[in-house]
Amino acid sequence: MAEELLKIEHLTKRFDDNTVLDDISFTVHKGEVIVVVGPSGCGKSTMLRCINALEPIQGGKITINGDEIVYGSKNLSSLRQRIGMVFQSYDLFPHLNVLDNILLAPTKAQKRKKDEVTKEAMELLKRVGLEDKAKSYPRQLSGGQKQRVAIVRALCMHPEMMLFDEVTAALDPEMVREVLDVMLGLAKRGMTMIIVTHEMQFAKAIADRVLFLENGKIIEDADPDTFFENPKTERAKQFLNIFSFERSKENEEI
């Protein structure tokens, strides 16, 4: 087994009296791709936000390579640089063009040389098929293009792992594929990732492990074949059933 990269122990998160994450523990190994699925409001997104210390937590411990991530601590920005995150939408900076969006954090937070980062940024943009968009502004891009830029922006910080929070949920159906392909490419290159998604086919294809979350608890933790073909719990079965029912209904409408 590869070395441990991210370790989550007994993570608990409450909003007032409402427990959103209840004693969550799991470990992510280097190069592993973990897909988190579960019904809306089960705490998937909140979990990612806690890993990036965008939310204070009420209990437990999150460590990356042994360094603890504590909400509000002084060295938070350097820890966050080691974890890339891509959100559902609206997270490109609208006042900066694509290249400046990518350059901002490497040059300001990591104080790297602009030439060097520009070169790298252009290579990454080329990899996702957007090298001709470097000077465009976010408003001139399609949703799928924006998300690919957001991924490049995070990659350019050389993160040790990436978090993806429903990155295709706000996209028109025809744009989903181009974003998922980029993520598949990353997985092939051995990037460690935690992916929250509703795209079940994609989950099946990319995951090394699937976590099924409900009501703030991990109900199942299995390899994708087991989870999708033979889920252990009744709840996971129901969830997958409801999902496929909804999909067939969508198909009918078309």
Partner 1 sequence: MNWDFIWEYLPLYKDAALLTVKIGWLGIAIAIVIGFLCAIALYFKVPVLRRIVSVYIEISRNTPLLIQLFFIYYALPKIGIPTNPEACGVAGLAFLGGSYMAEAFRSGLEAIEPIQMESALSLGLEKSQALRHVIMPQAVSISVPAFVANVIFLLKETSVFSAVSLMDLMFTAKDLIGLYYKTTESLLMLVVFYLIILLPVSILGSVLERRLRHAGFGS
d(Cα 102, Cα 93) in Å, to the nearest integer? 10
Out of 2, 10, 73, 93, the only residue in the binding site for partner 1 (CB under 8 A) is: 93
The nearest distance, CB 54 to partner 1, in angstroms, is: 5
Q: CA distances (Å), 149 to each of 49, 53, 156, 178, 252, in order?
A: 20, 23, 10, 12, 34
Query: Is the CB of 91 or the CB of 214 nearer to partner 1?
Result: 91
Decide: is 147 part of the binding site for partner 1 (CB under 8 A): no
Going along the chain, which residue ranges are E strands? 4-15, 18-29, 33-37, 59-64, 67-68, 83-86, 161-165, 192-196, 209-214, 217-222
Q: Tokens in use for 6?
A: 């991210």
Q: Considering beta carbons, is residue 112 or 127 the nearer one to partner 1?
A: 112
Q: Which residue has the tokens 């409408």?
A: 253
Identify which range of 100-108, 185-193, 209-217, 245-253 contacts partner 1 by CB under 8 A.
100-108
Q: What are phi and psi of 33, to 5 degrees?
A: -115, 115
- Closest CB 80 distance from partner 1, rounded Å: 4
User: CB neighbours (10 Å) of residue 38?
Assistant: 24
Q: Binding to partner 1 by residue 52, rule CB under 8 A?
A: yes
Report, in Å, the least distance between residue 205 CB and partner 1. Answer: 26
Q: Minimal distance in Å, beta carbon 144 to partner 1?
A: 14
Among 44, 133, 153, 209, binds partner 1 (CB under 8 A): 153
The minimum distance between CB 245 and partner 1, in angstroms, equals: 32
DSSP 193-232: EEEE-S-HHHHHHH-SEEEEEETTEEEEEE-HHHHHHS-S
Binding site residues, partner 1, CB under 8 A:
49, 52, 54, 77-78, 80-85, 87, 89-95, 104-105, 108-110, 138-139, 146, 150, 153-154, 157
